[in-house]
Amino acid sequence: MKTIKPVELSNRLQKNEEVFILDVRAEEKYNHYHIKEQYIHSVNIEKTHIFDENDMESISSLPKDKEIIITCTTGNSARKCAEILAEKEFNVTLLEGGITAWKDYKATK
């Protein structure tokens, strides 16, 4: 499983690289806070939809030709979702430490 540290993600954004982020937290948590930067395309699909083998419609909008950086609060749910999506041939990368690590990193900048 590929992973990316918050500092590495930040470096990519500073280079104006476009990034696709899949946030698998509950919609309320996503709406309260999610990673917003100029070059980020952020999507929220709750983990329960990804865990549901019969709910292929939810993930049908995800790109298969781009890297998808997956995040949740701490990284545990995102890891499970990344494993499921990798089996379906999506190009997934896990944000180490999730939103918590991202917020901690941004607080030091």
Return the pLDDT at 109.
77
Residues of the chain short of pLDDT 70, as ranges, are none
Q: Does the domain made of 2-107 have the CATH classification 3.40.250.10?
A: yes
> Model pTM?
0.95
Return the pLDDT at 10.
96
C-alpha pair distances (Å), 4 with each of 13, 52, 53? 13, 26, 27
Return the pLDDT at 13.
94
Return the pLDDT at 63.
96
